[in-house]
Amino acid sequence: MREKFPYLPERISGLADIAYNLWWSWHPSARMLFKRLDRIAWKESRHNPVRMLMDLPPDVLKSAAENRDYLDHYEQVMARFHEDMETRVCWFAANIREAACQPIAYFSAEYGLHHSLPFYAGGLGFLAGDFVKECSDLGVPMVAVGFAYPGGYLRQKIRMDGWQEDVHEVLDGTAAPIERVVDGSGEPLIVQVPFVEPPIHVAVWKVAVGKIPLYLMDTDIERNEPWNRGISARLYIGDMEERLRQEMVLGFGGIAMLDALRIGHSIIHLNEGHSAFAILERIRRRVESGDSLDRAIERVRATTVFTTHTPVPAGHDVFPFHLMDKYFGHCYRRLGLTREQFLEMGSDPAAPAAGFNMTVLSLRLSSFSNGVSRRHGEVTRRMWAHLWPGSNDDAVPIAAITNGIHVPSWVEPKMEMLFNKYLGPGWLEGHDDPSTWDSVDAIPDQELWKIHLWLKIKLLNFIREQARRRWMENRASPATIISNGVLLDPTTLTIGFARRFTAYKRPDLIFSKPDRLKRILNNRWRPVQIIFAGKAHPADDEGKRILQRIFTLAHDTDMGGRIAFVENYDEQLAQYMVHGVDLWLNNPRAPLEACGTSGMKAALNGVPHLSILDGWWIEGHRGTNGWAFPADGDERDAAAIYDLIEKEIVPLYYRLDEAGVPAGWVKVMKEAIKHAGAHFSARRMVKEYALTFYQHAIRSAGEERLGVR
């Protein structure tokens, strides 16, 4: 990749290695190494070091390579990078028996890693991204598998009438931290997807996530028929047949790709059912190399981990039988199965005629399954109890491991410095130990508040810059520009609501009594403002209508310019929002939020949560670290929110001490930080997966060295 940067002096050529490993993104000193080259270019590149190194004029790079101060910084970062990449002593090796195993193959249809890689739609992707980053930090041997979507997900453009237009966020492959994988002769590696007739091929890309390689498949190559080239074009295609083909490539192709890369794997972990065909591929291989079908199933099941993420029935893929016959008809017998036996694996006894259910397949053929919060575990056990006839809900073998966030990725760098100062330099290493956070109380209120205000101003500046761009692109009228947040004020209590725009998340719940809302917003001495962001799925017209309603209300003069809708929610905007608002609002219809993670990101940065008791907040709410209300139907939920804002939140926020600091509010901020930092970290989460699932599955694999060929 160094050839991409012809002007990068040899003396600092390691910058190329760091630019191509996302490790930089969760190490502030590495980020600073790029930023200090040229702050404006850094901003122009949208914090993308590959883009920046391509664009910087040679003399800027040359003078950095001659600047003693810069070189010292560079040496420090390079030393730390190499130490992190090469170190063998790590949590996993020290705590997991049989840690010297082949890698765990982690499968996910999406990964949220950085906004320069538009391979995510939302929560599932960020969970996968944070999971892989944490596995790198803990030294979990892992190889991650997914799709490179050249057409990305979607770039949201809001028309002047508030309707969302779906423009494709096209991957800029030259300026993204992604590399094409080549074979022994230097030609692009091409892998044939097994099982599928006529054949489909994939090219392979690699993203370095710290120590963990993420391999991404891409069907857009000449060798493929035109209709196959588009399989990996976009995330979550609506058409069932295209979706089936996509999932066949992910599951069957994923295993074949690992083989072509000569990467053996001990066990597999499926992040949601999209990749469940990987299970069938592993069974097929065993049957073809001589195992009986029963034995193959038993061995594969013992080495498969499955995480389900959604309590919404429509979130589970079910493929009609005629499509299954079309694509699998030729291979039922290769597995030693009749058609009925094959289809039985994915048949939901509660809806046997519905089709082939990927979640059912995964639950049946994984020894280790889980939901993603305690409540979601309960809901999931109830939802699938009929797969284990005769056992009551508690005996259903689906565990609960609550999601967590990758703390180094979501803690704002100024906050991180504050924690360094008051929690001690070892806090980041031990951040999943609750006692690490006791000293948050020692942070002077004024210091925490000052940083928070600075982050809020940063957010509002970012929003104003976006609005200016829309204005200059002639995509806003003098009236609609108000909806973009130009009248937001840094001294006003600011509520953030950012998530996918879909009916069950009820983004417009707070508008259910517009007059009451207006009174809250426009309280003369104690006003409130709300910032919204989020995309509706391209096929979700109802979600788009909700968005349009909010966008339109936002420039209703009665709202006083205190409602904003910010376009194109992505990783970068998420960072600004979870760092910079005062309060994070979450009001889905219970129990449909499996977990939720954006509230954790906010809490970690001292932004308390105002949320319905669902998902992680059932475990997270302690009475002192934010606000909660029970699920009680739309009308009462809205009333509960208004009451809490008017009676508790607003008075607390605007009660200032002599130094001008809202001491009572800052206390809630501190409690929010304390409880999010340890328990809702990806570190706690990955350790739980390793101890409760991986080590047992790896032992089963070790008994027989599965995957060694």
- Verify binding: residue 126, ligand PLP, rule CB under 6 A: yes
Q: Quick one: 367 or 597, whose CB is closer to ligand PLP?
A: 597
CB of 532 to ligand PLP, least distance (A): 13
| Window of 71-79, 185-193, 331-339, 568-576 that interacts with ligand PLP by CB under 6 A | 568-576
- Verify binding: residue 597, ligand PLP, rule CB under 6 A: yes
Binding pattern to ligand PLP, positions 13-52, x when CB under 6 A?
----------------------------------------
CB of 242 to ligand PLP, least distance (A): 24
DSSP state of 12: G
Q: Is 647 exposed, middle or buried (0-12, 13-18, 19+ CB in 10 A)?
A: exposed
Q: Quick one: 335 or 574, whose CB is closer to ligand PLP?
A: 574
- Verify binding: residue 153, ligand PLP, rule CB under 6 A: no
Q: Quick one: 277 or 576, whose CB is closer to ligand PLP?
A: 576
CB-CB contact of 153 with 120 (8 Å): yes
Distance, in Å, from the CA atom of 669 to the CA atom of 676, rounded to the nearest integer, reads 11
Q: Quick one: 123 or 677, whose CB is closer to ligand PLP?
A: 123
Task: Name residue 11's beta-bridge partners.
Answer: none
Q: Where are the alpha helices (DSSP H) in 45-138?
A: 49-55, 58-64, 68-86, 91-95, 123-138
> Both tokens of residue 317?
């893929």
Q: Could you tell me whether strands 179-180 and 201-209 are parallel, antiparallel, or unpaired per DSSP bridges?
A: antiparallel
Distance, in Å, from the CA atom of 170 to the CA atom of 151, rounded to the nearest integer, reads 5
Binding pattern to ligand PLP, positions 497-526, x when CB under 6 A?
--x---------------------------
CB-CB contact of 166 with 156 (8 Å): yes
Q: Quick one: 271 or 480, whose CB is closer to ligand PLP?
A: 271
CB of 569 to ligand PLP, least distance (A): 6
Q: Could you tell me whether strands 212-218 and 201-209 are parallel, antiparallel, or unpaired per DSSP bridges?
A: antiparallel
- Verify binding: residue 596, ligand PLP, rule CB under 6 A: yes
Distance, in Å, from the CA atom of 329 to the CA atom of 315, rounded to the nearest integer, reads 26
- Give me the numbers of helices (H) and strands (E) for the chain, helices first please: 30, 20
CB of 46 to ligand PLP, least distance (A): 14
CB-CB contact of 602 with 578 (8 Å): yes
Residue type, 580: G
Distance, in Å, from the CA atom of 71 to the CA atom of 28, rounded to the nearest integer, reads 17
| Window of 181-189, 350-358, 596-604, 605-613 that interacts with ligand PLP by CB under 6 A | 596-604
Per-residue H/E/C for 294-325:
HHHHHHHHHCEEEECCCCCHHHCCEECHHHHH
Per-residue H/E/C for 208-267:
EECCEEEEEEECCCCCCCHHHHCCCCCCCCCCHHHHHHHHHHHHHHHHHHHHHCCCCCCC
Residues 344-403 that bind ligand PLP (CB under 6 A): none
Rule CB under 6 A: choose which of 123, 194, 311, 626 binds ligand PLP. Answer: 123
At residue 328, the 3 state secondary structure works out as: helix
CB of 3 to ligand PLP, least distance (A): 33
| Window of 2-10, 263-271, 437-445, 595-603 that interacts with ligand PLP by CB under 6 A | 595-603
Q: Quick one: 201 or 309, whose CB is closer to ligand PLP?
A: 309
| Window of 236-244, 275-283, 466-474, 591-599 that interacts with ligand PLP by CB under 6 A | 591-599
Contacts of 261 (CB under 8 A, 6+ apart): 181, 189, 204, 215
Residue type, 549: R
Rule CB under 6 A: choose which of 49, 103, 122, 371 binds ligand PLP. Answer: 122
> Both tokens of residue 559?
């709202």
CB of 403 to ligand PLP, least distance (A): 8
| Window of 215-223, 333-341, 563-571, 686-694 that interacts with ligand PLP by CB under 6 A | 563-571
Q: Quick one: 133 or 229, whose CB is closer to ligand PLP?
A: 133
Q: Quick one: 215 or 501, whose CB is closer to ligand PLP?
A: 501
CB of 211 to ligand PLP, least distance (A): 23
Task: Name residue 167's beta-bridge partners.
Answer: 155
Rule CB under 6 A: choose which of 567, 571, 582, 671 binds ligand PLP. Answer: 571
Q: Quick one: 375 or 601, whose CB is closer to ligand PLP?
A: 601
- Verify binding: residue 627, ligand PLP, rule CB under 6 A: no
Distance of CA 4 to the CA centre of its chain: 29
Residues 525-554 that bind ligand PLP (CB under 6 A): none
CB of 574 to ligand PLP, least distance (A): 3
At residue 452, the 3 state secondary structure works out as: helix
- Verify binding: residue 569, ligand PLP, rule CB under 6 A: yes
> Site size for ligand PLP, by CB under 6 A?
13
CB atoms < 10 A from the CB of 25, how many? Answer: 23
- Verify binding: residue 574, ligand PLP, rule CB under 6 A: yes
Distance, in Å, from the CA atom of 319 to the CA atom of 18, rounded to the nearest integer, reads 42
CB of 407 to ligand PLP, least distance (A): 13
Residues forming contacts to ligand PLP in the complex (CB under 6 A) are: 122-123, 126, 499, 569-571, 574, 596-599, 601
